[in-house]
Amino acid sequence: MGKLYPELDGRLRKFIARQSVFFVATAPILTSNGDGGHVNVSPKGLTDTFAVLGPRTVAYLDLTGSGAETIAHLRQNGQITIMFCSFDHTAKILRLYGTGEVVLPGQQRWDELAVHFPRVAGGAAASRAPGSERSIIVVDVHRIADSCGYAVPVMEVKEERDVLDRYNAKKSAAEHAAYRAEKNAVSIDGLPALS
């Protein structure tokens, strides 16, 4: 049976820390009556890319990808849901509903937030995917809910993929900027993302 929580307590933080993947969902609102375009769900992973900043605040490191739907949707309406789904023997799904903010490198809050992510702040993982950090997404969580997850299969994580790191390590800062200008300027619905 699902339960609502007033905040991310120690038990929920431990659950989040054990998960190797999380999913981010956003959607645009394209008309005055609230109809939207394409709903986006993105899998996220890699060690040390998610941080609990407080009882009702979380953030994740957004790495360069082929699209920028989440950024575009957050800039338009701010709505976001993050889902953690346990694939081990603990049957549990945790959803964090909130309002998201996009913080870009060079913006005022970047350095304050970057300390939570070793790959940006110079920790052991900092050598991985240099320059691939596109933004930090900060979420003010207004609803924390879990559900059973009984139908989710039990699976084991073999290893993290290093494909993104290897791909991005070959690019210069100028090449990263050019890629983002071409691929991340607008959403598939034409909303501004990194333009």
Given a cut of 80, whether residue 154 has pLDDT beyond it is: yes
Residue 33, C-beta contacts closer than 8 angstroms, at least 6 positions apart: none
For residue 123, the 8-state DSSP code is S
In a domain, 188, yes or no: no
Is 64 or 51 the better-scoring residue by pLDDT?
A: 51
Given a cut of 70, whether residue 121 has pLDDT beyond it is: no
Range of the domain at 81: 3-183
Instruction: Tell me the per-residue pLDDT of 166-184, one tens digit each, with 9 for 90 and over.
Output: 888 888 888 988 999 999 9
In a domain, 195, yes or no: no
Q: What is the CATH number of the domain that holds 74?
A: 2.30.110.10
Angle at 68 between CA 65 and CA 72, to 5 degrees: 165
pLDDT of 127: 47
Domains of the chain: total:
1
Mean pLDDT of 137-154: 96
Give the C-alpha separation, 145 to 123, whole Å. Answer: 32
pTM of the model: 0.92
Is 27 or 35 the better-scoring residue by pLDDT?
A: 27
Helix (H) or strand (E) holding 25: strand 22-26
Burial class of residue 26, CB neighbours in 10 A (0-12, 13-18, 19+): buried
Buried b / exposed e along 121-155 (16+ C-beta atoms within 10 A): eeeebeebbbbbbbbbbbbebeebebeeeeeeeee
In a domain, 69, yes or no: yes
Instruction: Tell me the per-residue pLDDT of 61-117, one tens digit each, with 9 for 90 and over.
Output: 999 888 999 999 999 999 999 999 999 988 999 999 999 999 999 999 999 999 999
